[in-house]
Structure 1
Amino acid sequence: MKDLGPLKYFLGIEVARSSAGLFLSQGKYTLDIISESDLLGAKPSGFPMEQNHKLGLASGVPLSDLEQYRRLVGRLIYLAVTRPDLAYSVHILSQFMQEPRSENWKATLRVVRYLKATSGHGILLNSDCDLNLQGWCDSDWATCPLTRRSLSGWLVFLGKSPISWKTKKQHIVSTSSAEAEYRSMAAITCELKWLKALLLSLGVQHPKTIKLFCDSESALHIAKNPIFHEQTKHIKVDCHFVRDAITKGLISPSHVPTNSQLADIFIKSLGKSQFDYLLSKLGVSNPHVPT
């Protein structure tokens, strides 16, 4: 056993300390990805994935070198540990590991060109933290063109710092957008419950009700309505789970406008202006670049 001093670099993650808090980034790892992709001289991209893409229906030429695609996407998956802005792109690209096509490869290289413009980005774990949890959840209904399963995305803050996020395709087909939103709400409720227990094991009490922001009025109505209607019986388990959390004071769901929904960045490809706006709210930035 050796005391190696203050943490600065571990498994590709760089840690910078200041009075503002801990800044986590993977700058060297990012530059290695760009260099390995032979894109050091390429034109940077302003956002990782083009809007209204049709990658799920790609019909181009299958790639001859599957290992190259799988290796690059695998490295992007690890990079997303400190880059929530990559969560959606990595989720989409990782679905084509078995038979990637030319369109998928081009989309992957676009993500690398985005990294070229944001190689120093990371997340700040703010020292000015009240240790209160806050959740944001959203869904994109029937977004998969092949299975019509919906996409869930959620984000959890501890104080002002993002500590947990996820983009995931739902397990079954939802028959309405409200149902898809409600499943996302149930998923983040499970995560918030676990995080609260984790904080307690570390000696951090969290007596306050956790704020949960959702942009679906229908899902919020289902969560607060104690009566089961015929249309909601097929999601009865999720209904009980979320309502129990509300009754016990674990969460307090409230509505947020769609254009201010932070979890929107985890469920769809956005234009540059909206992407940059949500990115600034997430706290993803490069502290070494003057603003």
Structure 2
Amino acid sequence: MDVHNAFLHGDLAEEVYMQLPPGFSTTSSSKVCRLRKSLYGLRQAPRNWFAKLAGALKSFGFDQSYADYSLFTFASHDISIRVLVYVDDLIIAGNNTTAISAFKAYLSRCFHMKDLGVLKYFLGIEISRGPTGMFLSQRKHTLDILAETGLLGAKPTRYPIDQNHRLALDDGPMYSDPVRYRRLIGRLIYLTITRPELCYSVHVLAQFM
């Protein structure tokens, strides 16, 4: 599910003032606006929105995970529901469709929500279903990495790197802008979510951050 204008739902606990918006005419140039509600662009906006959402989930009966604060669990008798939050997107999973429908209706009463249907794609991870269960893939994320590095035409190999392989020393100049390498390592680390066999190779490359 997706929340429309999520940050506008947050409640401000501090006194926050802003300059008058363009086109607002006033006789005094020293006047400012005091915000009653959260706005996009405020540093407090993400925290206030998450606090508002967490409060709504806890009111329904969810418990917040201490291992991952974005994970909420609900258990009552034989009903189990899990909610994973990423900013304004929510993944809802459970073992009772009636309970999930009631929970969705509750969320729609609390916030302006949009039901995006069955989960297919989330944060670069593709989800497909079959008779044996669910399959997670990062195919698009992998192709984006290959395209960015210019290796779409490279030949595949069964083993990315031999164990205990020592990379050759290079006496050349340092990169003037190491951001691209750091970005590549970060994307490779994210790829190991569904490709754990790459962990060793990525670990070797990450030593040169």
**TM range, normalised to the smaller chain?**
0.3 to 0.5
Higher relative contact order (CA 8 A, sep 6+): 1
TM value normalised by structure 1: 0.31
